[in-house]
Amino acid sequence: MSLLKVEGLNKIFGGHYALSDVHMDIRPGEVHALVGENGAGKSTFIKIVTGVYSPDGGTLLWKGKAVTINDPGDAREIGINVVHQDRHLIPSFTGYENLFLGLKYPSSGVGVKWKAMQNRAKSLMEEYGVKLDMNKTAERMSPPERTMLEILRAMMLECNLLILDEPTASLTDQESEQLFSLIGKLIERGTSILYVSHRMDEIFRLSHRITVFRNGQHVATVNRAETDRDGLISLMNNKEYKKAIRIEREGAAGKPVLEVRNVTTVDGKVKGVSLDVREKEIVGLFGLAGAGRTELLETIYGLRRKSSGDVVIRGELKSGLSPRASLDEGVVLIPEERKRDALVMGMTIRENITLPVLKKFSSGWKLRGGEERKEAEGWMEDLKVKASGTEQEVGQLSGGNQQKVVFAKALMSSPFLYLCDEPTQAVDIMTREQIHRLLREQADAGGAVLFVSSDLQEVLDIADRLYVLHEGRVVADLPNRDVTPENVLAYCFGQGKDRDQS
């Protein structure tokens, strides 16, 4: 019998079907993966099942009985908990407060029992082996910390179905492992999981069955053993799929574009880092959570203050680093948090893309709107942004398509140095390769790329060379030749040096 059975589900946005006649069944105790290209309808499906959106037709059966889920409270009540793709935390609330958001605080009639709240949170963290400073406010937490907090929150109430929409998008492998062991424990207890991800390895590792959506329609549901990575991708985009192969570019690098000399930040997150990136090079930067990857990029870009050391760009020593100066000069940062740092949700795609480059399209006081739109459309097409046009609001796009807009925006400013912090986060596997191709083209044309990803395999797929960071310091500088994930991880855990000597 099904735990949740959905039939004939429709959802229409602005005259287009986001979901059309979708069916799906989730069995008790299974991990059911849901995959599809960016904009295929995965999050919309989840939002309907959890009462965020109301459907435009279709039926939901829960344990064999018809149900209507009018709001998120209804979903929780029947036993469906969720971690949405666009995270839902209150920035100024502490971990504890966010954890109890929307739940009844334990109270003794007059006051809230803070002690009871803390104990409940602590035992939950112990049970699942999660370490988080719950007194910190959400805005002071890193993206992975926030994800773990949301996952914990979903676990606060017993549930029969836990829905995770791209939970690992900003997690490192190590943190993902924590999540996977947590999933394992839930499955043992008979909880079902609906799992959305673009990461093929975890889909094949975790799931029992896999459902594929394409353009708002259900294409297939298969047992894991019945398919493989390429087969799944072909179902997703209805095309034969071949993975891109990395070509080694020996001796291709040119003059140094970026030289970081002994840089330490005021907050001590980066400690005496030196590295360089040359023309035509894609340099990877890898490290575990807290290694200082994001902080280093932010320092180079001028968002974070350094206390000592130098940043040299194209041979010129930069004394005052600032985002504005960086942008004017041709240095772009593709930040980790698209919602907070890169996009204005209420503005159109075109406005977002051209925001930093209005100068380029104005002659005197006049804006050359036609050119602007044409270039924006060109990049949108290259990146296959799924939208009704350049005039659609960014907030209405799917998560992956928002990320594509962030990338298009970076390309529009024609930079020569790309500082990329998780640039392919949330994008589907086809677009991810397209982004790699575009970065490679930029590099081949003389640009330089510093590339951070929490997905080690991705770094190894794209980088010519890579630096490993550990607790704010560079612990290895490796040409990407015969490097295995194990080699890199050994450095991340601070063991690399010993291994070399033995």
436 binds, among Mg ion, ligand ATP, none (CB under 5 to 8 A by kind): none
Q: Are 44 and 52 in contact (CB under 8 A)?
A: no
Give the CA distances from residue 73 to residues 46, 58, 69, 81, 382, in Å, rounded to whole numbers and listed in that order: 14, 20, 8, 10, 41
The CA R_g of the chain, rounded to the nearest whole Å, is 23
Q: How far is the CB of 171 from ligand ATP (least distance, A)?
A: 16
Where residue 142 falls (left for φ over 0; alpha for ψ -120 to 50; beta otherwise) is beta
Least distance between ligand ATP and beta carbon 208 (Å): 21
Kindly write out the interface string for residues 393-412 of this chain, putting x where it contacts Mg ion by CB under 5 A and - elsewhere: -----xx-------------
Q: Is 452 in the site for ligand ATP (CB under 6 A)?
A: no
Tell the smallest beta-carbon distance from residue 402 to ligand ATP (Å): 8
| Minimal distance, residue 403 CB to ligand ATP, in Å | 8
Q: Figure out which of the listed residues 399, 415, 472, 496 binds ligand ATP, where binding follows CB under 6 A.
A: 399
Residue 396 binds ligand ATP, judged by CB under 6 A? yes
* Smallest separation (angstroms) from Mg ion to the CB of 400: 7
| Per-residue interface string for the shown chain with ligand ATP, residues 33-52, x marking contact by CB under 6 A | ---x-xxxxxxx--------
User: Computed from CA positions of residues 249, 253, 257, 263, in that sequence, does the dihedral angle turn out positive or negative?
Assistant: positive
User: From the CB of 131, what's the least distance to ligand ATP, in Å?
Assistant: 29
Closest chain position to Mg ion (CB): 43
Q: Give the DSSP H or E segment for 117.
A: helix 114-128
Per rule CB under 6 A, is residue 168 in the interface with ligand ATP?
no
Q: How far is CA 368 from the centre of its chain?
A: 34
Q: Distance from first CA to last CA of the chain, Å, rounded?
A: 57
- The span from the CA of 200 to the CA of 236, in Å, is 12
Taking CB within 5 to 8 Å according to partner kind, which of ligand ATP, Mg ion, none is near residue 18?
A: ligand ATP
Interface size with ligand ATP, residues (CB under 6 A) = 20
Show the binding pattern over residues 78-97: x = contacts ligand ATP (CB under 6 A), - = does not.
-------x------------
Q: Among Mg ion, ligand ATP, none, what binds residue 284 when CB lies within 5 to 8 Å by partner kind?
A: none
Q: How far is CA 343 from CA 14, 64, 80, 397, 480, in A?
A: 22, 43, 31, 12, 33
Least distance to ligand ATP, CB of residue 229, Å = 17
Tell me which stretch binds Mg ion (CB under 5 A): 3-11, 82-90, 232-240, 469-477. Answer: 82-90
DSSP, res 397: S
User: Does the protein bind ligand ATP through residue 454 (CB under 6 A)?
Assistant: no
Residue 168 binding result from Mg ion, ligand ATP, none, given CB thresholds of 5 to 8 Å by partner type: none
| C-beta separation of 170 from 454 below 8 A | yes
Contact between 296 and 474 under an 8 Å Cβ cutoff? The reply is no
The residue behind tokens 């996009």 is 343
Taking CB under 6 A as the rule, does residue 14 contact ligand ATP?
yes
| Minimum distance, C-beta of residue 67 to Mg ion, in the bound complex (Å) | 23
Residue 431: how many CB atoms within 10 A of its CB? 24
> Looking only at residues 23 through 52 of this chain, which bind Mg ion when binding is defined by CB under 5 A?
42-43
Among 50, 81, 85, 431, contact with Mg ion (rule: CB under 5 A) = 85
Is 235 a binding residue for ligand ATP by CB under 6 A? The answer is no
Q: Which contacts of 221-224 are long-range, i.e. CB under 8 A and separated by 24 or more positions?
A: 221/24
Secondary structure in 3-state letters for 130-175: CCCCCCCEHHHCCHHHHHHHHHHHHHCCCCCEEEEECCCCCCCHHH
- Scanning 212-254, the segments in alpha helix (DSSP H) are 229-237
Contact between 401 and ligand ATP (CB under 6 A)? Answer: yes
What amino acid occupies position 298?
Answer: E
Cβ-proximal residues to 301 (8 Å cutoff; 6+ apart), any chain: 321, 323, 326, 331, 333, 419
Cβ of residue 265: shortest distance to ligand ATP, in angstroms? 33
CA-CA distance, 37 to 45, in Å (whole number)? 14
**41 vs 415 by CB, closer to ligand ATP:** 41
* Token pair 């320092």: residue: 299
Closer residue to ligand ATP in complex, CB, 19/327: 19
Interface characters, 403-442, with ligand ATP (x: CB under 6 A)? -------------------------x--------------
264 binds, among ligand ATP, Mg ion, none (CB under 5 to 8 A by kind): none
Q: How far is the CB of 316 from ligand ATP (least distance, A)?
A: 39
Q: What is the DSSP string of 436-487?
A: HHHHHHHHHTT-EEEEE-S-HHHHHHH-SEEEEEETTEEEEEEESSS--HHH
Nearer to ligand ATP, 41 or 302 (CB): 41
Binding positions for Mg ion, rule: CB under 5 A: 42-43, 85, 398-399
Binding positions for ligand ATP, rule: CB under 6 A: 13-14, 18, 36, 38-44, 85, 386, 396-401, 428
